[in-house]
Amino acid sequence: MATAGGNSYRNGTHRNSLKVDRPLSVNSNPKTSIKSKPLPVSGQRRSSTGSINGTTGASKDDAGVPGRVRVAVRLRPRNAEELAADADFADCVEIQPELKRLKLRKNNWDSDTYEFDEVLTEFASQKRVYEVVAKPVVESVLDGYNGTVMAYGQTGTGKTYTLVRLGEEDTAARGIMVRAMEDILADVSLETDSISVSYLQLYMETIQDLLDPANDNISIVEDPKSGDVSLPGATLVEIRDQQSFVELLRLGEVHRYAANTKLNTESSRSHAILMVHVKRSIKGRDSALSSEIGNNSHMVKTLKPSIVRRGKLVVVDLAGSERIDKSGSEGHTLEEAKSINLSLSALGKCINSLAENSAHVPFRDSKLTRLLRDSFGGTARTSLVITIGPSPRHRGETASTIMFGQRAMKVENMLKLKEEFDYKSLSRRLDLQLDKLMVEHERQQKAFEDEIERLTIEAQSQISEAERNYADALEKERMKYQKDYTGFNKEA
Ligand SMILES: Nc1ncnc2c1ncn2[C@@H]1O[C@H](COP(=O)(O)OP(=O)(O)OP(=O)(O)O)[C@@H](O)[C@H]1O
Protein backbone atom coordinates (compact mmCIF):
# COMPACT_ATOMS: atom_id res chain seq x y z
CA MET A 1 0.00 0.00 0.00
CA ALA A 2 2.77 2.36 0.82
CA THR A 3 4.47 1.95 -2.54
CA ALA A 4 3.05 5.02 -4.24
CA GLY A 5 3.54 7.18 -1.22
CA GLY A 6 6.99 5.74 -0.69
CA ASN A 7 8.02 6.44 -4.25
CA SER A 8 6.65 9.92 -4.31
CA TYR A 9 8.31 10.49 -0.96
CA ARG A 10 11.54 9.35 -2.47
CA ASN A 11 11.01 11.68 -5.41
CA GLY A 12 10.40 14.50 -3.01
CA THR A 13 6.90 15.44 -4.19
CA HIS A 14 5.48 15.56 -0.66
CA ARG A 15 6.36 18.23 1.81
CA ASN A 16 8.60 16.77 4.47
CA SER A 17 9.16 18.27 7.82
CA LEU A 18 12.79 19.31 8.06
CA LYS A 19 13.92 18.38 11.53
CA VAL A 20 17.63 18.97 11.80
CA ASP A 21 18.72 18.18 15.29
CA ARG A 22 21.78 20.39 15.07
CA PRO A 23 22.90 23.47 13.16
CA LEU A 24 22.91 22.84 9.43
CA SER A 25 26.52 23.80 8.95
CA VAL A 26 28.57 20.92 10.31
CA ASN A 27 31.67 23.01 10.71
CA SER A 28 29.93 26.26 11.43
CA ASN A 29 32.28 27.03 14.28
CA PRO A 30 35.77 27.10 12.86
CA LYS A 31 37.21 26.75 16.32
CA THR A 32 35.53 23.43 16.88
CA SER A 33 35.96 21.93 13.46
CA ILE A 34 38.74 19.47 12.68
CA LYS A 35 40.24 20.00 9.30
CA SER A 36 41.12 16.59 8.03
CA LYS A 37 44.60 16.45 6.56
CA PRO A 38 44.93 15.71 2.86
CA LEU A 39 45.21 12.03 2.23
CA PRO A 40 48.73 10.82 1.59
CA VAL A 41 49.63 9.77 -1.92
CA SER A 42 49.72 6.00 -1.95
CA GLY A 43 53.11 4.65 -0.92
CA GLN A 44 54.39 8.04 0.15
CA ARG A 45 55.32 8.49 3.82
CA ARG A 46 53.64 11.34 5.57
CA SER A 47 55.45 13.75 7.78
CA SER A 48 54.73 12.76 11.35
CA THR A 49 54.93 16.26 12.64
CA GLY A 50 51.63 17.47 11.27
CA SER A 51 49.11 18.13 13.98
CA ILE A 52 45.44 17.54 14.20
CA ASN A 53 44.43 20.99 13.08
CA GLY A 54 46.82 21.20 10.21
CA THR A 55 49.51 23.23 11.98
CA THR A 56 53.04 21.97 12.36
CA GLY A 57 54.04 20.38 15.63
CA ALA A 58 51.89 19.93 18.68
CA SER A 59 49.85 22.39 20.53
CA LYS A 60 51.81 23.66 23.49
CA ASP A 61 48.55 24.40 25.20
CA ASP A 62 48.13 21.74 27.85
CA ALA A 63 44.37 21.90 27.49
CA GLY A 64 44.65 20.40 23.98
CA VAL A 65 42.90 21.05 20.70
CA PRO A 66 39.10 20.94 20.48
CA GLY A 67 37.80 18.07 18.38
CA ARG A 68 34.14 17.19 18.12
CA VAL A 69 33.10 13.55 17.81
CA ARG A 70 32.49 12.91 14.11
CA VAL A 71 29.54 10.75 13.13
CA ALA A 72 28.89 8.97 9.84
CA VAL A 73 25.79 6.93 9.07
CA ARG A 74 26.01 3.83 6.87
CA LEU A 75 23.01 2.18 5.29
CA ARG A 76 23.16 -1.56 4.71
CA PRO A 77 21.62 -2.85 1.46
CA ARG A 78 18.49 -4.93 1.74
CA ASN A 79 19.32 -8.51 2.63
CA ALA A 80 17.62 -11.55 1.07
CA GLU A 81 14.96 -11.67 3.76
CA GLU A 82 14.14 -7.98 3.39
CA LEU A 83 14.05 -8.23 -0.40
CA ALA A 84 11.30 -10.81 0.01
CA ALA A 85 9.45 -9.54 3.09
CA ASP A 86 9.62 -5.81 2.30
CA ALA A 87 9.17 -6.14 -1.45
CA ASP A 88 5.99 -4.04 -1.38
CA PHE A 89 7.35 -1.41 0.98
CA ALA A 90 9.69 1.49 0.55
CA ASP A 91 12.85 1.70 2.65
CA CYS A 92 12.31 3.62 5.88
CA VAL A 93 15.26 5.89 5.07
CA GLU A 94 16.38 7.97 2.16
CA ILE A 95 20.00 9.08 1.90
CA GLN A 96 21.09 12.36 0.29
CA PRO A 97 24.89 11.95 0.21
CA GLU A 98 25.67 15.24 -1.51
CA LEU A 99 23.79 17.10 1.26
CA LYS A 100 25.06 14.77 3.96
CA ARG A 101 21.46 14.28 4.99
CA LEU A 102 19.30 11.35 5.84
CA LYS A 103 15.52 11.31 5.76
CA LEU A 104 13.72 8.99 8.11
CA ARG A 105 10.26 8.28 6.93
CA LYS A 106 7.46 8.79 9.46
CA ASN A 107 4.63 7.77 7.16
CA ASN A 108 3.78 8.05 3.49
CA TRP A 109 3.69 11.82 3.64
CA ASP A 110 6.13 12.91 6.22
CA SER A 111 9.73 12.38 7.15
CA ASP A 112 12.32 13.79 9.51
CA THR A 113 15.64 14.99 8.14
CA TYR A 114 18.94 14.67 9.93
CA GLU A 115 22.37 15.86 9.03
CA PHE A 116 25.58 13.92 9.71
CA ASP A 117 29.27 14.47 9.06
CA GLU A 118 29.01 11.80 6.35
CA VAL A 119 26.18 9.72 5.01
CA LEU A 120 27.14 6.50 3.29
CA THR A 121 24.69 4.86 0.95
CA GLU A 122 24.18 1.12 0.53
CA PHE A 123 26.63 1.37 -2.42
CA ALA A 124 29.49 2.88 -0.40
CA SER A 125 32.63 0.75 -0.75
CA GLN A 126 34.59 -0.47 2.26
CA LYS A 127 37.50 1.69 1.03
CA ARG A 128 35.37 4.84 1.05
CA VAL A 129 33.98 4.01 4.48
CA TYR A 130 37.51 3.58 5.81
CA GLU A 131 38.65 6.83 4.27
CA VAL A 132 35.87 8.99 5.66
CA VAL A 133 35.37 7.26 9.01
CA ALA A 134 38.72 5.93 10.14
CA LYS A 135 41.63 7.33 8.14
CA PRO A 136 41.74 10.76 9.85
CA VAL A 137 41.69 9.00 13.23
CA VAL A 138 44.52 6.63 12.20
CA GLU A 139 46.58 9.62 11.03
CA SER A 140 46.08 11.29 14.41
CA VAL A 141 47.21 8.12 16.19
CA LEU A 142 50.36 8.09 14.04
CA ASP A 143 50.94 11.70 15.11
CA GLY A 144 50.74 10.73 18.80
CA TYR A 145 47.10 11.21 19.73
CA ASN A 146 44.59 8.71 21.02
CA GLY A 147 41.85 7.80 18.58
CA THR A 148 38.62 5.84 18.64
CA VAL A 149 36.57 4.34 15.84
CA MET A 150 33.31 2.84 17.03
CA ALA A 151 30.32 1.22 15.32
CA TYR A 152 26.87 1.49 16.87
CA GLY A 153 23.63 0.09 15.50
CA GLN A 154 20.97 -2.54 15.60
CA THR A 155 21.95 -6.19 15.23
CA GLY A 156 22.57 -7.19 11.65
CA THR A 157 23.06 -3.67 10.27
CA GLY A 158 26.75 -4.10 9.39
CA LYS A 159 28.91 -3.09 12.38
CA THR A 160 31.14 -6.16 12.17
CA TYR A 161 31.10 -5.96 8.36
CA THR A 162 32.33 -2.36 8.55
CA LEU A 163 35.01 -2.90 11.19
CA VAL A 164 36.18 -6.48 11.33
CA ARG A 165 35.95 -8.08 7.85
CA LEU A 166 39.32 -9.60 6.94
CA GLY A 167 38.64 -9.62 3.19
CA GLU A 168 41.01 -12.48 2.53
CA GLU A 169 39.00 -13.85 -0.38
CA ASP A 170 38.16 -10.36 -1.69
CA THR A 171 40.59 -7.59 -0.72
CA ALA A 172 38.01 -4.91 -1.58
CA ALA A 173 35.94 -6.21 1.36
CA ARG A 174 38.63 -5.48 3.99
CA GLY A 175 37.18 -3.68 6.99
CA ILE A 176 38.47 -0.80 9.08
CA MET A 177 40.70 -2.84 11.44
CA VAL A 178 42.70 -4.41 8.58
CA ARG A 179 42.97 -1.16 6.59
CA ALA A 180 44.00 0.80 9.69
CA MET A 181 46.89 -1.59 10.38
CA GLU A 182 47.99 -1.41 6.74
CA ASP A 183 48.25 2.38 7.02
CA ILE A 184 50.01 2.19 10.38
CA LEU A 185 52.59 -0.34 9.15
CA ALA A 186 53.20 1.75 6.03
CA ASP A 187 53.95 4.86 8.10
CA VAL A 188 56.10 3.61 10.99
CA SER A 189 59.73 2.58 10.95
CA LEU A 190 60.06 -0.71 12.81
CA GLU A 191 63.69 0.09 13.72
CA THR A 192 62.67 2.96 15.96
CA ASP A 193 58.91 2.56 16.42
CA SER A 194 56.75 -0.25 17.76
CA ILE A 195 53.17 -1.45 17.37
CA SER A 196 51.43 -3.70 19.87
CA VAL A 197 47.90 -4.97 19.94
CA SER A 198 45.34 -6.26 22.46
CA TYR A 199 42.01 -7.72 21.43
CA LEU A 200 39.26 -8.06 24.01
CA GLN A 201 35.59 -8.60 24.42
CA LEU A 202 33.28 -7.18 27.02
CA TYR A 203 30.61 -9.73 27.74
CA MET A 204 28.14 -9.50 30.65
CA GLU A 205 30.31 -6.85 32.40
CA THR A 206 33.41 -9.06 32.21
CA ILE A 207 36.44 -8.26 30.10
CA GLN A 208 37.87 -11.32 28.38
CA ASP A 209 41.04 -11.67 26.37
CA LEU A 210 40.24 -12.67 22.79
CA LEU A 211 43.90 -13.64 22.32
CA ASP A 212 43.93 -15.88 25.39
CA PRO A 213 40.44 -17.07 26.39
CA ALA A 214 41.71 -18.43 29.74
CA ASN A 215 42.40 -14.83 30.70
CA ASP A 216 38.74 -14.07 31.31
CA ASN A 217 38.48 -11.43 34.00
CA ILE A 218 40.68 -8.50 33.13
CA SER A 219 40.49 -5.45 35.37
CA ILE A 220 40.41 -1.86 34.28
CA VAL A 221 43.07 0.31 35.86
CA GLU A 222 42.54 4.05 35.92
CA ASP A 223 45.35 6.49 36.60
CA PRO A 224 43.83 8.85 39.19
CA LYS A 225 46.03 11.72 38.03
CA SER A 226 45.80 11.55 34.25
CA GLY A 227 42.52 9.63 34.07
CA ASP A 228 44.21 7.24 31.60
CA VAL A 229 42.58 3.83 31.38
CA SER A 230 44.67 0.71 30.86
CA LEU A 231 44.23 -3.06 30.94
CA PRO A 232 47.56 -4.36 32.26
CA GLY A 233 46.22 -7.93 32.38
CA ALA A 234 45.51 -8.10 28.64
CA THR A 235 47.78 -9.96 26.24
CA LEU A 236 49.84 -7.49 24.25
CA VAL A 237 51.23 -8.78 20.96
CA GLU A 238 53.90 -6.92 19.05
CA ILE A 239 53.01 -6.56 15.36
CA ARG A 240 55.70 -6.43 12.70
CA ASP A 241 53.74 -7.40 9.58
CA GLN A 242 50.21 -7.38 8.23
CA GLN A 243 49.90 -11.16 7.98
CA SER A 244 50.49 -11.75 11.69
CA PHE A 245 47.92 -9.05 12.51
CA VAL A 246 45.29 -10.67 10.28
CA GLU A 247 45.99 -14.05 11.92
CA LEU A 248 45.56 -12.43 15.31
CA LEU A 249 42.20 -10.96 14.26
CA ARG A 250 41.09 -14.34 12.97
CA LEU A 251 42.05 -15.96 16.26
CA GLY A 252 40.11 -13.28 18.12
CA GLU A 253 37.03 -13.80 15.99
CA VAL A 254 37.12 -17.55 16.63
CA HIS A 255 37.04 -16.79 20.33
CA ARG A 256 34.37 -14.13 20.14
CA TYR A 257 31.21 -15.38 21.60
CA ALA A 258 28.19 -15.19 19.35
CA ALA A 259 24.74 -16.14 20.60
CA ASN A 260 21.73 -16.50 18.38
CA THR A 261 18.75 -14.30 18.71
CA LYS A 262 15.56 -14.16 16.78
CA LEU A 263 16.75 -11.15 14.85
CA ASN A 264 20.02 -12.48 13.54
CA THR A 265 21.45 -15.94 13.85
CA GLU A 266 25.00 -14.63 13.89
CA SER A 267 24.41 -11.76 16.23
CA SER A 268 27.40 -10.64 18.30
CA ARG A 269 26.41 -10.53 21.93
CA SER A 270 29.63 -9.01 23.15
CA HIS A 271 31.39 -5.73 22.52
CA ALA A 272 34.72 -6.36 20.79
CA ILE A 273 37.55 -3.93 21.49
CA LEU A 274 40.79 -3.78 19.53
CA MET A 275 43.55 -1.64 21.02
CA VAL A 276 46.54 -0.70 18.89
CA HIS A 277 49.41 1.01 20.71
CA VAL A 278 51.78 2.92 18.44
CA LYS A 279 55.01 4.09 20.05
CA ARG A 280 57.20 6.36 17.95
CA SER A 281 60.60 7.85 18.61
CA ILE A 282 61.05 11.41 17.52
CA LYS A 283 64.66 12.41 16.95
CA GLY A 284 65.55 15.86 15.78
CA ARG A 285 62.01 16.41 14.58
CA ASP A 286 59.83 19.31 15.55
CA SER A 287 57.93 18.67 18.73
CA ALA A 288 56.34 20.58 21.54
CA LEU A 289 58.72 19.12 24.11
CA SER A 290 61.93 19.59 22.13
CA SER A 291 61.24 23.26 21.58
CA GLU A 292 60.41 23.60 25.27
CA ILE A 293 63.81 22.32 26.35
CA GLY A 294 65.63 24.67 23.94
CA ASN A 295 68.96 23.86 22.37
CA ASN A 296 71.22 26.73 23.26
CA SER A 297 73.75 25.16 25.54
CA HIS A 298 75.99 22.32 24.49
CA MET A 299 75.29 20.59 27.82
CA VAL A 300 71.54 20.57 27.21
CA LYS A 301 72.10 19.30 23.67
CA THR A 302 74.15 16.30 24.75
CA LEU A 303 71.80 15.46 27.61
CA LYS A 304 68.62 16.04 25.60
CA PRO A 305 66.45 12.92 25.81
CA SER A 306 64.74 11.75 22.65
CA ILE A 307 60.98 12.08 22.53
CA VAL A 308 58.40 9.31 22.38
CA ARG A 309 54.86 9.66 21.15
CA ARG A 310 52.36 7.06 22.21
CA GLY A 311 49.17 7.06 20.18
CA LYS A 312 46.47 4.50 20.93
CA LEU A 313 43.82 3.46 18.44
CA VAL A 314 40.71 1.86 19.95
CA VAL A 315 38.30 0.17 17.55
CA VAL A 316 35.01 -0.85 19.15
CA ASP A 317 32.50 -3.20 17.55
CA LEU A 318 29.53 -2.80 19.86
CA ALA A 319 26.92 -5.49 20.39
CA GLY A 320 23.57 -4.91 18.71
CA SER A 321 21.52 -2.08 20.16
CA GLU A 322 18.08 -3.68 19.60
CA ARG A 323 15.43 -3.61 22.28
CA ILE A 324 15.21 -6.64 24.58
CA ASP A 325 11.51 -7.19 23.94
CA LYS A 326 12.02 -7.35 20.18
CA SER A 327 14.96 -9.74 20.27
CA GLY A 328 12.69 -12.33 21.88
CA SER A 329 15.43 -13.25 24.28
CA GLU A 330 14.70 -15.32 27.31
CA GLY A 331 16.55 -17.11 30.12
CA HIS A 332 20.30 -16.70 29.91
CA THR A 333 20.01 -14.72 26.71
CA LEU A 334 17.69 -12.28 28.46
CA GLU A 335 20.40 -11.69 31.09
CA GLU A 336 22.85 -11.15 28.24
CA ALA A 337 20.55 -8.72 26.51
CA LYS A 338 20.02 -6.82 29.77
CA SER A 339 23.74 -6.64 30.34
CA ILE A 340 24.36 -5.45 26.78
CA ASN A 341 21.57 -2.94 27.24
CA LEU A 342 23.05 -1.82 30.56
CA SER A 343 26.37 -0.92 28.99
CA LEU A 344 24.79 0.60 25.89
CA SER A 345 22.29 2.60 27.91
CA ALA A 346 25.12 3.73 30.20
CA LEU A 347 26.97 4.86 27.06
CA GLY A 348 23.84 6.68 25.88
CA LYS A 349 23.52 8.42 29.26
CA CYS A 350 27.15 9.54 29.20
CA ILE A 351 26.74 10.90 25.69
CA ASN A 352 23.56 12.73 26.70
CA SER A 353 25.29 14.26 29.72
CA LEU A 354 28.27 15.32 27.60
CA ALA A 355 26.04 16.69 24.84
CA GLU A 356 24.17 18.74 27.44
CA ASN A 357 27.35 19.82 29.22
CA SER A 358 26.10 18.33 32.50
CA ALA A 359 28.36 18.64 35.50
CA HIS A 360 28.20 14.90 36.16
CA VAL A 361 28.86 12.27 33.50
CA PRO A 362 28.09 8.75 34.79
CA PHE A 363 31.17 7.04 33.34
CA ARG A 364 31.38 4.68 36.29
CA ASP A 365 28.00 3.07 35.58
CA SER A 366 29.42 0.32 33.32
CA LYS A 367 32.71 -1.15 32.19
CA LEU A 368 32.05 -0.03 28.63
CA THR A 369 31.79 3.61 29.66
CA ARG A 370 34.83 3.32 31.92
CA LEU A 371 36.78 1.93 28.95
CA LEU A 372 35.52 4.65 26.61
CA ARG A 373 36.11 7.54 28.98
CA ASP A 374 38.89 9.01 26.84
CA SER A 375 36.85 8.55 23.66
CA PHE A 376 33.88 10.69 24.67
CA GLY A 377 34.64 13.96 26.40
CA GLY A 378 38.28 12.91 26.76
CA THR A 379 41.48 13.49 24.83
CA ALA A 380 40.93 11.15 21.87
CA ARG A 381 39.90 11.91 18.33
CA THR A 382 36.69 9.94 17.95
CA SER A 383 34.77 8.84 14.90
CA LEU A 384 31.51 6.96 15.20
CA VAL A 385 29.82 5.05 12.42
CA ILE A 386 26.19 4.32 13.05
CA THR A 387 24.82 1.48 10.97
CA ILE A 388 21.20 1.20 9.95
CA GLY A 389 19.10 -1.15 7.86
CA PRO A 390 16.51 -0.07 5.30
CA SER A 391 13.59 -2.13 6.57
CA PRO A 392 10.47 -0.21 7.65
CA ARG A 393 9.84 -3.03 10.17
CA HIS A 394 12.81 -1.79 12.20
CA ARG A 395 12.00 1.90 11.95
CA GLY A 396 11.95 2.25 15.76
CA GLU A 397 15.49 0.91 16.15
CA THR A 398 16.69 2.92 13.18
CA ALA A 399 15.24 6.09 14.73
CA SER A 400 16.90 5.40 18.06
CA THR A 401 20.25 4.70 16.34
CA ILE A 402 19.94 8.00 14.46
CA MET A 403 19.17 9.89 17.68
CA PHE A 404 22.20 8.28 19.35
CA GLY A 405 24.37 9.50 16.46
CA GLN A 406 22.87 13.00 16.56
CA ARG A 407 23.63 13.35 20.27
CA ALA A 408 27.15 11.96 19.86
CA MET A 409 27.84 14.74 17.32
CA LYS A 410 27.48 17.27 20.11
CA VAL A 411 30.26 15.76 22.18
CA GLU A 412 33.41 17.84 22.18
CA ASN A 413 36.75 16.25 23.02
CA MET A 414 40.03 18.00 23.80
CA LEU A 415 42.68 16.25 21.78
CA LYS A 416 46.02 15.96 23.51
CA LEU A 417 49.36 14.96 22.12
CA LYS A 418 50.71 11.96 24.05
CA GLU A 419 54.33 12.99 23.96
CA GLU A 420 57.00 12.60 26.59
CA PHE A 421 60.73 12.66 26.98
CA ASP A 422 62.22 9.22 26.73
CA TYR A 423 64.01 9.31 30.08
CA LYS A 424 64.47 5.54 30.03
CA SER A 425 66.58 5.60 26.90
CA LEU A 426 68.36 8.74 28.12
CA SER A 427 69.21 6.87 31.32
CA ARG A 428 70.39 3.86 29.26
CA ARG A 429 72.50 6.21 27.14
CA LEU A 430 73.97 7.85 30.26
CA ASP A 431 74.68 4.43 31.81
CA LEU A 432 76.59 3.47 28.67
CA GLN A 433 78.50 6.73 28.73
CA LEU A 434 79.29 6.24 32.41
CA ASP A 435 80.56 2.70 31.73
CA LYS A 436 82.80 4.05 28.95
CA LEU A 437 84.10 6.83 31.21
CA MET A 438 84.83 4.38 34.01
CA VAL A 439 86.77 2.08 31.67
CA GLU A 440 88.71 5.10 30.37
CA HIS A 441 89.33 6.29 33.91
CA GLU A 442 90.62 2.86 34.91
CA ARG A 443 92.84 2.78 31.81
CA GLN A 444 94.28 6.19 32.61
CA GLN A 445 94.70 5.31 36.30
CA LYS A 446 96.62 2.16 35.31
CA ALA A 447 98.78 4.12 32.84
CA PHE A 448 99.46 6.70 35.55
CA GLU A 449 100.42 4.04 38.08
CA ASP A 450 102.65 2.34 35.49
CA GLU A 451 104.33 5.67 34.76
CA ILE A 452 104.89 6.34 38.46
CA GLU A 453 106.41 2.87 38.85
CA ARG A 454 108.61 3.43 35.81
CA LEU A 455 109.73 6.81 37.14
CA THR A 456 110.35 5.35 40.59
CA ILE A 457 112.45 2.56 39.15
CA GLU A 458 114.29 5.03 36.95
CA ALA A 459 114.87 7.37 39.87
CA GLN A 460 115.99 4.50 42.05
CA SER A 461 118.46 3.34 39.41
CA GLN A 462 119.68 6.92 38.98
CA ILE A 463 120.09 7.25 42.74
CA SER A 464 121.91 3.91 42.88
CA GLU A 465 124.16 5.00 40.03
CA ALA A 466 124.76 8.34 41.69
CA GLU A 467 125.53 6.53 44.96
CA ARG A 468 127.84 4.21 43.12
CA ASN A 469 129.53 7.12 41.33
CA TYR A 470 129.82 8.96 44.58
CA ALA A 471 131.27 5.91 46.31
CA ASP A 472 133.70 5.44 43.41
CA ALA A 473 134.71 9.07 43.48
CA LEU A 474 135.09 8.91 47.24
CA GLU A 475 137.23 5.80 46.95
CA LYS A 476 139.30 7.43 44.25
CA GLU A 477 139.73 10.49 46.43
CA ARG A 478 140.60 8.36 49.42
CA MET A 479 143.15 6.42 47.34
CA LYS A 480 144.58 9.67 46.07
CA TYR A 481 144.97 11.06 49.58
CA GLN A 482 146.40 7.82 50.78
CA LYS A 483 148.89 7.81 47.92
CA ASP A 484 149.77 11.44 48.52
CA TYR A 485 150.11 10.78 52.24
CA THR A 486 152.36 7.73 51.68
CA GLY A 487 154.57 9.73 49.24
CA PHE A 488 154.87 12.60 51.69
CA ASN A 489 156.01 10.31 54.51
CA LYS A 490 158.62 8.69 52.29
CA GLU A 491 160.03 12.08 51.32
CA ALA A 492 160.11 13.13 54.96
N1 LIG B 1 27.27 -2.72 3.60
C2 LIG B 1 26.98 -4.02 3.45
N3 LIG B 1 26.96 -4.58 2.23
C4 LIG B 1 26.69 -5.89 2.07
N5 LIG B 1 26.38 -6.72 3.10
C6 LIG B 1 26.37 -6.22 4.33
C7 LIG B 1 26.67 -4.84 4.57
N8 LIG B 1 26.59 -4.63 5.90
C9 LIG B 1 26.27 -5.81 6.45
N10 LIG B 1 26.13 -6.75 5.52
C11 LIG B 1 25.76 -8.15 5.76
O12 LIG B 1 24.72 -8.16 6.74
C13 LIG B 1 24.91 -9.21 7.70
C14 LIG B 1 24.98 -8.66 9.11
O15 LIG B 1 26.11 -7.83 9.19
P16 LIG B 1 27.00 -7.76 10.50
O17 LIG B 1 27.21 -9.10 11.09
O18 LIG B 1 28.17 -6.95 10.18
O19 LIG B 1 25.99 -6.97 11.44
P20 LIG B 1 26.26 -6.45 12.92
O21 LIG B 1 25.67 -5.11 13.01
O22 LIG B 1 27.68 -6.59 13.28
O23 LIG B 1 25.40 -7.45 13.78
P24 LIG B 1 25.59 -7.86 15.32
O25 LIG B 1 25.20 -6.71 16.15
O26 LIG B 1 24.69 -9.00 15.49
O27 LIG B 1 27.03 -8.21 15.48
C28 LIG B 1 26.15 -9.93 7.29
O29 LIG B 1 25.81 -11.05 6.52
C30 LIG B 1 26.89 -8.94 6.42
O31 LIG B 1 27.71 -9.57 5.46
Residue-wise pLDDT tens digits, 362-413: 999 999 999 999 999 999 999 999 999 999 989 999 999 999 999 999 999 9
- pLDDT number for residue 257: 55
Q: Is the dihedral of CA 176, 135, 91, 106 positive or negative?
A: positive
**Report for 196-210, 216-230, 291-305: range of highest mean pLDDT:** 196-210
Query: 272 and 256 in one domain?
Result: yes
**Res. 485: pLDDT tops 50:** yes
Q: Best substitution site from 152, 157, 343 to test ligand 1's pocket, by max atoms within 8 Å of Cβ?
A: 157
Query: 64 and 16 in one domain?
Result: yes
Assign 55 a pLDDT band (cuts: 50, 70, 90). Answer: very low
ipTM exceeds 0.95, yes or no: yes
- pLDDT number for residue 454: 95
> Does residue 260 line the site of ligand 1, with CB under 6 A?
no
Ligand-binding site membership of 158 (annotated): yes
Question: pLDDT per residue over 129-165, tens digit each?
Answer: 999 999 999 999 999 999 999 999 999 999 999 999 9
Query: 183 and 161 in one domain?
Result: yes
- pLDDT number for residue 22: 37
Triad 427, 431, 435: Cα angle to 5°:
170
Ligand-binding site membership of 320 (annotated): no
Report the C-alpha gap between 476 and 482 in whole angstroms: 10
Question: pLDDT per residue over 259-272, tens digit each?
Answer: 333 334 455 678 99
Q: In the chain, what percentage of residues exceed pLDDT 90?
A: 55
> Does residue 264 line the site of ligand 1, with CB under 6 A?
yes
Question: 10 Å Cβ neighbour count for 351?
Answer: 25
For residue 299, which amino acid is it?
Answer: M
Q: How far is the CA of 156 from the centre of ligand 1 (A)?
A: 5
Ligand-binding site membership of 153 (annotated): yes
Query: 448 and 324 in one domain?
Result: no
- pLDDT number for residue 29: 36
Q: Which of 399, 421, 443 is the last residue in one of the domains?
A: 421
> Does residue 179 line the site of ligand 1, with CB under 6 A?
no
Ligand-binding site membership of 159 (annotated): yes
Report the C-alpha gap between 358 and 336 in whole angstroms: 30
Q: How far is the CA of 475 from the centre of ligand 1 (A)?
A: 118
Average pLDDT over residues 114-134: 97
Assign 283 a pLDDT band (cuts: 50, 70, 90). Answer: confident
Average pLDDT over residues 205-232: 89
**Res. 118: pLDDT tops 90:** yes
* 419 and 106 Cβ atoms separated by less than 8 Å: no
Assign 223 a pLDDT band (cuts: 50, 70, 90). Answer: confident
Query: 480 and 369 in one domain?
Result: no
Query: 446 and 375 in one domain?
Result: no
Of the listed ranges 182-186, 367-371, 478-482, the least confidently predicted one is: 478-482
**Cα distances (angstroms) measured from residue 297 to each of 114, 156, 293, 302:** 58, 62, 10, 9
> Does residue 158 line the site of ligand 1, with CB under 6 A?
yes
Report the C-alpha gap between 295 and 458 in whole angstroms: 51
Domains held by the chain: number: 2
Query: 222 and 359 in one domain?
Result: yes
- pLDDT number for residue 320: 86
Query: 140 and 90 in one domain?
Result: yes
Which residue's CA is the nearest one to ligand 1's atom 9? 158
Ligand-binding site membership of 157 (annotated): yes
- pLDDT number for residue 140: 96
- pLDDT number for residue 107: 80
Closest CA to 409 of 388, 382, 387, 389: 382
Q: Best substitution site from 95, 125, 128, 160 to test ligand 1's pocket, by max atoms within 8 Å of Cβ?
A: 160
Query: 267 and 248 in one domain?
Result: yes
Report the C-alpha gap between 67 and 409 in whole angstroms: 11
- pLDDT number for residue 188: 95
- pLDDT number for residue 92: 86
Report the C-alpha gap between 70 and 68 in whole angstroms: 6
> Does residue 320 line the site of ligand 1, with CB under 6 A?
yes
**Res. 430: pLDDT tops 60:** yes
- pLDDT number for residue 486: 86
Assign 326 a pLDDT band (cuts: 50, 70, 90). Answer: low
> Does residue 401 line the site of ligand 1, with CB under 6 A?
no
**Cα distances (angstroms) measured from residue 64 to each of 127, 342, 381, 415:** 30, 32, 11, 5
Question: pLDDT per residue over 3-47, tens digit each?
Answer: 333 333 233 323 333 343 433 333 333 333 333 333 333 333 343
Range of the domain at 138: 3-421
Return the bridge partners of 113, or none.
103
**Res. 49: pLDDT tops 50:** no
How much is the mean pLDDT over the chain? 81
Query: 87 and 230 in one domain?
Result: yes
The 3-class SS string of 53-121 reads CCCECCCCCCCCEEEECEEEEEECCCCHHHHHHCCCCCCCEEEEHHHCEEEEECCCCCEEEEECCEEEC
Query: 446 and 408 in one domain?
Result: no
CATH number at residue 82: 3.40.850.10
Atom of ligand 1 minimally distant from the CA of 79 = 12
Atom of ligand 1 minimally distant from the CA of 267 = 26
Report the C-alpha gap between 42 and 124 in whole angstroms: 21
Question: 10 Å Cβ neighbour count for 382?
Answer: 28
Closest CA to 72 of 179, 183, 162: 162
pTM for the full model? 0.74
Give the pairing of strands 229-230 and 221-222. antiparallel
Question: pLDDT per residue over 446-475, tens digit each?
Answer: 999 999 999 999 999 999 999 999 999 999
- pLDDT number for residue 149: 98
Ligand-binding site membership of 156 (annotated): yes
Query: 215 and 83 in one domain?
Result: yes
Assign 336 a pLDDT band (cuts: 50, 70, 90). Answer: low
Q: Which of 421, 438, 471 is the last residue in one of the domains?
A: 421
**Res. 197: pLDDT tops 80:** yes
Q: Which of 421, 452, 478 is the last residue in one of the domains?
A: 421
- pLDDT number for residue 421: 79
